[in-house]
Amino acid sequence: MALLLLPQRTCAASSSRLLPFTHLRQRQFTSSPSSHGRAPDSLLNIPALDKDEDHIAAREWLDEFTVDDVPKTSYVASYARSSGAGGQHVNKTNSKAVVHMDIHKAKGDWLPRFVVPALLQSSYYHAPNLLFTSQETRSAPQNLRKALENMHAAIVKSGRGLIRGQTSEEQKERVQMLKAGELVKKRFHKEKMKSKKASRRGDY
89 lies in the same domain as 136? yes
As a whole number, the mean pLDDT across the chain is: 79
Report residue 175's pLDDT band, with 50, 70 and 90 as the boundaries: low
Question: What digits encode the pLDDT tens for the residues 181-197?
Answer: 778 887 888 888 888 77
Query: What pLDDT is attached to residue 171?
Result: 57
Tell me, yes or no, if the pTM score tops 0.85: no
How many distinct structural domains can be found in the chain? 2
**Does some domain include residue 4?**
no
Residue 48's closest CA among 96, 115, 111, 104? 115
Please work out, in degrees rounded to the nearest 5, the angle formed at the alpha carbon of residue 93 by the alpha carbons of 91 and 94.
110
- Host domain of residue 43: 34-165
Instruction: Measure the CA–CA gap between 120 and 131, rounded to whole angstroms.
Output: 11
Amino acid identity, position 132: F
**Does some domain include residue 16?**
no
Question: What digits encode the pLDDT tens for the residues 150-172?
Answer: 999 999 999 999 998 755 556 56
**Does some domain include residue 133?**
yes
Whether the predicted pLDDT of 177 surpasses 90: no
Question: What digits encode the pLDDT tens for the residues 66-81?
Answer: 999 999 999 999 999 8
56 lies in the same domain as 133? yes
CATH code at position 87: 3.30.160.20
Instruction: Measure the CA–CA gap between 144 and 113, rounded to whole angstroms.
Output: 26
Instruction: Measure the CA–CA gap between 47 and 89, rounded to whole angstroms.
Output: 46
- For β-strands 129-134 and 75-80, DSSP reports them as unpaired
Query: What pLDDT is attached to residue 35?
Result: 54
Considering only residues 125 and 12, tell me which one the structure prediction assigns the higher pLDDT.
125
Whether the predicted pLDDT of 174 surpasses 60: yes
120 lies in the same domain as 172? no
Instruction: Measure the CA–CA gap between 19 and 204, rounded to whole angstroms.
Output: 106
Over pLDDT 90: what percentage of the chain? 54
